[in-house]
A and B are shown apart, each in its own frame.
Chain A
Amino acid sequence: MTPGGKALAEFVAEATEILDALGRDLLALDEARGQEADPEHINGIFRAAHSLKGLSGLFGQERISHLAHAAEDLLDRLRLGRLTLDDGVLDTLVDALDTFQALLGEASRSEEGQELTQRTRAMEDRMARLGSPPPAVEEDPLERLELDATVRAVFTEYEEHRLRENVRRGVALWRVRAAFDLTDFDQGLADLNARLKPLGEVISTLPSSRPGGANGIAFDLIFGAKVGARALEDGLRGTPAELAPLSVRQPGEGSTGPAFDVPPAPSHEEADAEALLADTDEVEPDEDSEPSVTSTSLATVPVVPGGSPPRMRAVSPPPTVVGLQAAASAPIPAGRPKAEETSLRSLTQTVRVDIGRLDGLINMVGELLLIKANLQRLAETSRQDGTVALSKLFGQELSRETRQLERKLEALQEGLLEARMVPVGQVFDKLARLVRKIAREAGKEIDFVSSGGEVELDKLIVEELSDPLMHLIRNAIDHGAEGPEARLGAGKPRRAVVRLRAEQKGNHVVISVSDDGSGIDEVRVREVALARGLVTPSQVSEMTRRELLNLIFLPGFSTRSSVSSLSGRGVGLDVVKNNLGNLSGIIDVWSERGKGTAFHLTLPVTLAIVRALVVGVSGRTYAVPLNSVLEILSVQPRDIRTVERREVLDLRGQTLPFLRLGRLFHLPEREVNRHFVVVVGLAQQRLGIAVDELFGQQDIVTKPLGGRLSRVKGISGATDLGNRRTVLVLDVAELLEEGIAQERRRA
């Protein structure tokens, strides 16, 4: 199979999905560090590695396939209990995920870098070297379980291991048999599984052809219960399930039932999987346990040789808190290749769309076709009566259909936009994984709290957001949060809190990254900005604290005298700010000494289609995205005042910076007796933009400008207004900045 472009895209899409699933399970294990691992998560990761191996083998992706093979081996040992999940193993898995992501990144670009190949080999070695000696060999606990050998024959190695583990730990084992109708058995089984899950572990699900009949199917579930018989009965009340205990001998007792390696006596003709229960009459009841019962009635009590250890399932209600341990206990392994910061941006262009949404869109197309038919009919009529003057009735009908068409098109547009929306939580999950790693490297103890993951944004924005957010979180941990000792000294709790929050506010989404650390030292900010020549002494002398703080976004600014290996990767906050600018978003900073720092990112919900105000300046036409327009004023030239060589307006007692668009773009200015002022704002910033004419509103799709034009300040792109008229779209965020820059340049 030669991986062509389409095949490659398909490979990358599926591999991304697999890695996402792997990451979720890994995060769950990570959150439960120190507690007993949930076998389901380990098995989930194993399955992911297994699928990845098969997938990449199929597509000739050798490097991924080899690494997946090594990972699968490691996970298989883990899954089968031959290896314990300690910090070292968990760290290796987290790093392996990084490597997979880097490999997939190169694969998507059809590259094969030497450096990454070496890193992959090192990772494979590291995984192979991991391992604790297998536990001392004792009697196989499975030998104590009375279970027909033919049943055991259909267990996969993993299922067998889970069964063994349950026997070893003295968990009460049951056979849960339930018959369903063939048409909806999967629903019935899902319901049954949902009931069983909180009560223990479903080890295997075995379909049986008996006694289903033509339209039925029965299943035997092998179940390890962590609750008593009574609770299990109660939990299954109302379901078609029948319970039967599986008896287990006490360790050390002589074998009484048929051993597994002995083939089953061919006494029954039907010695098959249905005969799940060995003949329990052969089992001698234990002295200190309930007598085992052969009946399948619900009142039976299983043989419980010991209490099963209580297993708490970590429930993670929003907001999610990820506990992180200090690096002190687990230093970064020496010689570990410094994992280059892999971008969290996903590699696929795919958006999963709820089928309901698509159905809605299809329906709308159906309605549009209906309108088209009506219009066609009207056109036909007018053609036939071509010479006759069109009746008033005809005109009314035509305009009614046009209105219908407009409404439906609007709904279709809205529906399509909705289909592009994805929950911002997709990025939050990836960031949560990263936080632990960064905290470790930095030697900080961090609680990471995220909320608002359900807020939806355009897929494009969510993708572009991941890198700026990663940078801000890195900053918060590296520079914001203090070490545990320093925090205790300052009378704060030992562990620092880093928060990530998304909130919808009208047409915008505000995402904030905050910490409860030491805050930004504005005195130091001023010193650095002066030392680097970014501002003049006279400028800073007039600056408010807020303005001083905003200096950190200037290119070439870094508060640390030495570039730290952690966040000083040559990328500063100016890059973060630029990234956000490209998304028509802006960034704000709040900080208080000793209390913490917060960055607020304000973003539009979508970039695809926006409503715009069409304005005229000196005979040219521009479009202003309406989502940043707050109001429109009509002002006389005498309302414009000059304060410190800057033009401003009084707006209900507040001073509003005033910008003449014509002047900014060096257009010939016209004498006018009044200006229209479009008041724009993002977050807390406001600006009045003077224009000559207002033409109305229109939906626009902004296309980027190519080449040198893309650097023109104040312009984000071009759009087609219909009638083949192309106009430039104003970049409000940049204009706001221009307003502030003017403020800074004064004096």
Chain B
Amino acid sequence: MKFKVLIVEDSKVSREHIAATVEAVDGVEAVTTASGFEALKLLPRQRFDLIITDINMPDINGLELINFVKKNPNYRDVPLIIVTTEGREQDRSRGMALGAAGYLVKPFQPEDLEALLRRFLKPL
């Protein structure tokens, strides 16, 4: 069975880039969504093994999504990875404090993301 990764990112190009990097890893499937609201809708319907989220998004921000996931007994064990652009240290450290498992700074190398996937999706 494949691992399923949810990607929450409002920029289309960035979203597709992340999805392509994720799907390049054998045994991993990517589900993409452009907003936090969509993510909230998807969570009860599908089981995800990992969530990758942007912080600055138009409806709810990524921190709120992390908090929601971490406070909900159904999803709290799903690891979260934050994707931000450089210079947003405060947002990033807040995300980590809320329980994110790791972070990536854009622009990132595919190897960095792959390393994170291998760390959190076991056994991969």
Chain A residues within 8 Å of B10, by CB:
51
Interface CB pairs A-B, < 8 A, 16: A14-B13, A47-B56, A51-B10, A51-B11, A53-B85, A54-B106, A69-B87, A72-B85, A154-B63, A156-B63, A186-B37, A206-B60, A207-B64, A208-B68, A209-B68, A272-B67
On whether the beta carbons of B107 and A273 are closer than 8 Å, the reply is no
Besides A155-B63, A183-B41, A273-B67, 10 more A-B contacts (Cβ < 8 Å) are A11-B13, A55-B11, A58-B14, A59-B13, A156-B91, A157-B91, A186-B41, A206-B60, A206-B64, A209-B71
Which residue of B has the minimal Cβ distance to A59? B13
Q: Which residues of A contact B (CB under 8 A)?
A: 1, 10-11, 14, 47, 50-51, 53-55, 57-59, 69, 72-73, 153-157, 159, 182-183, 185-186, 189, 204-209, 214, 217, 272-274
Bitwise interface map of B from 6 to 29 toward A, beta carbon under 8 Å scored 1, else 0: 000011111001000000000000
Chain A residues within 8 Å of B101, by CB:
none
Q: A207 vs B8: C-alpha distance in the bound complex, in angstroms?
A: 16
Chain B residues within 8 Å of A73, by CB:
87
Bitwise interface map of B from 47 to 62 toward A, beta carbon under 8 Å scored 1, else 0: 0000000011011110
Which residue of A has the minimal Cβ distance to B69? A209
On whether the beta carbons of A58 and B107 are closer than 8 Å, the reply is yes
- Nearest Cβ on chain A to B104's Cβ, whole angstroms: 11
- Nearest Cβ on chain A to B13's Cβ, whole angstroms: 5
- Nearest Cβ on chain A to B11's Cβ, whole angstroms: 5
- Nearest Cβ on chain B to A535's Cβ, whole angstroms: 56
Chain B residues within 8 Å of A153, by CB:
63, 67, 94, 97-98
Q: A154 vs B41: C-alpha distance in the bound complex, in angstroms?
A: 20
Chain B residues within 8 Å of A53, by CB:
85
Chain A residues within 8 Å of B123, by CB:
none
State the majority secondary structure of interface residues on B.
helix
Asked whether B72 is an interface residue with its Cβ less than 8 Å from the other chain, the reply is yes
- Nearest Cβ on chain A to B66's Cβ, whole angstroms: 8
On whether the beta carbons of A57 and B106 are closer than 8 Å, the reply is yes
On whether the beta carbons of A205 and B87 are closer than 8 Å, the reply is no
Q: A541 vs B17: C-alpha distance in the bound complex, in angstroms?
A: 69
Chain A residues within 8 Å of B55, by CB:
156
Asked whether B90 is an interface residue with its Cβ less than 8 Å from the other chain, the reply is yes
Chain B residues within 8 Å of A159, by CB:
61
- Nearest Cβ on chain B to A192's Cβ, whole angstroms: 12
Chain A residues within 8 Å of B13, by CB:
10-11, 14, 55, 58-59
Question: Chain B interface residue count: which class?
Answer: 35 or more
Q: Which residues of B contact A (CB under 8 A)?
A: 10-14, 17, 36-38, 40-41, 44, 55-56, 58-61, 63-68, 71-72, 85, 87-88, 90-91, 94, 97-98, 106-107
Which 8 residue pairs spanning A and B have beta carbons closest together?
A: A57-B107, A209-B72, A186-B37, A154-B67, A207-B68, A154-B63, A54-B106, A54-B85
On whether the beta carbons of A272 and B97 are closer than 8 Å, the reply is no
Q: A207 vs B107: C-alpha distance in the bound complex, in angstroms?
A: 29
On whether the beta carbons of B60 and A205 are closer than 8 Å, the reply is yes
On whether the beta carbons of B85 and A57 are closer than 8 Å, the reply is yes
- Nearest Cβ on chain B to A443's Cβ, whole angstroms: 39
Q: A185 vs B37: C-alpha distance in the bound complex, in angstroms?
A: 8
Chain B residues within 8 Å of A272, by CB:
67, 71
On whether the beta carbons of B44 and A54 are closer than 8 Å, the reply is no
Which residue of A has the minimal Cβ distance to B107? A57
Which residue of B has the minimal Cβ distance to A58? B107
- Nearest Cβ on chain B to A401's Cβ, whole angstroms: 43
Q: A54-B14, A153-B97, A156-B55 are in contact. Are A217 and B67 (CB under 8 A)?
A: no
Which residue of B has the minimal Cβ distance to A155? B63
Chain B residues within 8 Å of A205, by CB:
59-60, 64
Chain B residues within 8 Å of A182, by CB:
40-41, 44
- Nearest Cβ on chain A to B102's Cβ, whole angstroms: 18
Q: A109 vs B106: C-alpha distance in the bound complex, in angstroms?
A: 25
Which residue of A has the minimal Cβ distance to B75? A209
Q: A57 vs B84: C-alpha distance in the bound complex, in angstroms?
A: 12
On whether the beta carbons of A157 and B107 are closer than 8 Å, the reply is no
Q: A156-B56, A157-B91 are in contact. Are A189 and B37 (CB under 8 A)?
A: yes
On whether the beta carbons of A14 and B11 are closer than 8 Å, the reply is yes
- Nearest Cβ on chain B to A212's Cβ, whole angstroms: 9
Chain B residues within 8 Å of A69, by CB:
87
Q: Which of A50, A59, A154 has the most CB of B within 10 A?
A: A154
Residue in A58, A154, A157 whose CB lies within 8 Å of B106: A58
Q: A69 vs B38: C-alpha distance in the bound complex, in angstroms?
A: 29
Chain A residues within 8 Å of B60, by CB:
205-207
Q: A206 vs B64: C-alpha distance in the bound complex, in angstroms?
A: 6
Chain B residues within 8 Å of A1, by CB:
17
Q: A209 vs B72: C-alpha distance in the bound complex, in angstroms?
A: 6
- Nearest Cβ on chain B to A79's Cβ, whole angstroms: 11
- Nearest Cβ on chain B to A29's Cβ, whole angstroms: 19
On whether the beta carbons of B61 and A185 are closer than 8 Å, the reply is no
Chain A residues within 8 Å of B36, by CB:
207
Chain A residues within 8 Å of B40, by CB:
182, 185, 207, 217
Q: A156-B61, A157-B91, A205-B64 are in contact. Are A55 and B14 (CB under 8 A)?
A: yes
Q: A208 vs B13: C-alpha distance in the bound complex, in angstroms?
A: 30
Q: A47 vs B59: C-alpha distance in the bound complex, in angstroms?
A: 13
Chain A residues within 8 Å of B12, by CB:
14
Chain B residues within 8 Å of A273, by CB:
67, 71
Q: A156-B56, A273-B71 are in contact. Are A50 and B85 (CB under 8 A)?
A: yes
Q: A688 vs B106: C-alpha distance in the bound complex, in angstroms?
A: 65
Chain A residues within 8 Å of B11, by CB:
14, 51, 54-55
- Nearest Cβ on chain B to A182's Cβ, whole angstroms: 6
Which residue of B has the minimal Cβ distance to A47? B56
Which residue of A has the minimal Cβ distance to B74? A209
Chain B residues within 8 Å of A204, by CB:
61, 64
Q: A50 vs B68: C-alpha distance in the bound complex, in angstroms?
A: 25
